[in-house]
Amino acid sequence: MRKLKLALLAAALLAAAPALAETTVLKGMTLIDGTGKPVQPNAALVMTDGKIAWVGPAAQLKAPAGARTVDLTGKFVIPGLIDAHVHIGIMHDVTQDIKYYTRDNVEADLKTYAAYGVTGVQVLGTDKDLVFDIRKQERSGRPHYARVYTAGQGEVFKGGYGGVFGLNVPVSTPEEARKSVDEQAAKGVDFIKLWMDDERKTIPVKMTYDVSKAIIDEAHKHNLKAVAHIFYLADAKELVREGINGFAHMVRDQPVDNELLSMMKAKGTWMVSATLSREMAYSLAIMPWLNDPFFTRGVTPGTLAALRSMAREQAVVLGPTRFPGLPYEKKVFWDMDRTVFQALQNYQAMVKAGVKTGMGTDSGPNGRFPGFNAHEEMQLEVLAGRSPMDAIKSATSDNASWLGDNSVGSVEAGKWADLVVLNKNPLDDIRNTQTILSVYIAGNPVPTVWQICRDRPAGACTGSALNAPDMPY
């Protein structure tokens, strides 16, 4: 009897005791913390239960007893990347349809983002409501795939451009617009998204300014930021006057002028996502990375077959194309060379003027690829004149600032341990962000792009992180 009582007492004490902390130490690496501060050679950090408990010089490291230690001498650590403009779960190979939006497909996309070192994504307006369950699960624990920030179902004008057929419910009046925003706010969205475009004047109607103003005002009543898809300079100016918080695309019809730049600076309006890689993709008849393992590992076999086909090349060169659910044809790729150059020029102007900028790709839909495009986007930012340090900052701490999330975006004590370990120095060459050795989300190691082979057996893909691919523009 005495032995039984002692056993029960021991079990009770064990159950009441706090669980042992999970601690991992990374040491010896060069740290690029995401804030723009100078690099820290021979650095170290301590991750405890998914958060950064300490970071500093390796010489000052006091590793906790029992901690797992990883020697990263000769390696480079940056914060996990954040893509501020994506669409998830809506594709099967190269076909877009809301019927593909299932939990399995969404999670497959989020795992792909994570594999590329993209540890957070902002989905702009094409989510089904099941995304809130995924987000709740992530925020209540330590996720194993990319963190989600969502705009729910974005606001589309009736008969106009935007959204996904069968998901977004169009609005035509300010009253309908306010009601729709209220419905999204009640679901707990992180942002409100609106589309204002007529697809190069191929669509007869475009969202009216009274409707856009109603959307923005209603979003602000709910203390939510509003972000807009735009194309035209005139629309950008009007939306800034109405109080838009950020743009999901660059102005592409003409050069931006001092009036727009001054208004954006004065009001703190963000260029959330210039989506330069989107414009580049639309200008290429044959994508130069179709045999690049950094690309091929993260896309499905059906995607590769379609991208390599003569049919796609004909669509790019000749157009027009009819997309599912759209009552019209559009020349998607027509004149896109001019558009990408205009986007690059306007991005340069905004950066020079001091407009707040993030990094976003519009990846997910056909021609833009989860995770892969984030690296391409940073390369295009550098092509447009930014330093590699600034490109990394735009994709990490700057994007976290836009999101209003001070728990991610930089390698600092108290923040989640969302980290990417690289074999080569991205400050020497921004393309070295592709030399991914390991990825951590909330301290959890996740499979990298060099370890996955989407929708195929792992052995079906080849290629090494030590050989940084060369994006040939």
Hey, what are 379's tokens? 């390369």
Label residue 321 by pLDDT band (50, 70, 90).
low
Helix (H, G, I), strand (E, B) or coil at 74: coil
Instruction: Give the residue-averaged pLDDT of 232-253.
Output: 98
Are 350 and 247 within 8 A, CB to CB? no
Predicted pLDDT at 269: 98
Is the pLDDT confidence value at 193 over 60?
A: yes
Better-predicted residue by pLDDT, 156 or 334? 156
Angle at 124 between CA 119 and CA 130, to 5 degrees: 75
What tens digit of pLDDT does each residue of 403-441 get? Answer: 999 999 999 999 999 999 999 999 999 999 999 999 999
Is the pLDDT confidence value at 336 over 90?
A: no
Better-predicted residue by pLDDT, 296 or 285? 296
DSSP letter for 323, please: P
Q: Which residues make beta-bridge pairs with 76?
A: 30, 422
DSSP letter for 312, please: H
Instruction: Give the residue-averaged pLDDT of 207-228.
Output: 98
Label residue 463 by pLDDT band (50, 70, 90).
confident
What tens digit of pLDDT does each residue of 377-394 get? Answer: 999 999 999 999 999 999
Instruction: Give the residue-averaged pLDDT of 280-307.
Output: 90
What tens digit of pLDDT does each residue of 41-91 get? Answer: 999 999 999 999 999 999 999 999 999 999 999 999 999 999 999 999 999
Hey, what are 8's tokens? 């029960």
Are 150 and 129 within 8 A, CB to CB? no
* Pairing between β-strand 81-86 and β-strand 118-123 as defined by DSSP bridges: parallel
Is the pLDDT confidence value at 174 over 90?
A: yes
Label residue 191 by pLDDT band (50, 70, 90).
very high
Instruction: Give the residue-averaged pLDDT of 286-310.
Output: 92
CA-CA distance, 70 to 465, in Å (whole number)? 18
Is the pLDDT confidence value at 275 over 70?
A: yes
Angle at 264 between CA 259 and CA 267, to 5 degrees: 120
Asked if the bond preceding 301 is cis, omega within 30° of 0, the reply is no
Predicted pLDDT at 410: 98
For residue 248, give the nearest of 275, 218, 208, 210 by alpha carbon: 275
Is the pLDDT confidence value at 338 over 70?
A: yes
CATH superfamily of 80-408: Metal-dependent hydrolases (3.20.20.140)
Are 25 and 17 within 8 A, CB to CB? no
Confidence (pTM): 0.93
**Which is it for the CA torsion 95, 191, 238, 352, positive or negative?**
negative
158: CB partners within 8 A, 6+ apart = 170, 171, 172, 205
CA-CA distance, 21 to 329, in Å (whole number)? 58
Label residue 284 by pLDDT band (50, 70, 90).
confident
> Domain residue spans in the chain?
80-408
DSSP letter for 126, please: B
Is the pLDDT confidence value at 327 over 90?
A: no
Number of helical H runs and strand E runs in the chain: 15, 19
Predicted pLDDT at 335: 63
The whole-chain average pLDDT of the chain stands at 92
Label residue 468 by pLDDT band (50, 70, 90).
low
Q: Which residues make beta-bridge pairs with 46?
A: 25, 54
CA-CA distance, 218 to 108, in Å (whole number)? 34
Is the pLDDT confidence value at 200 over 90?
A: no
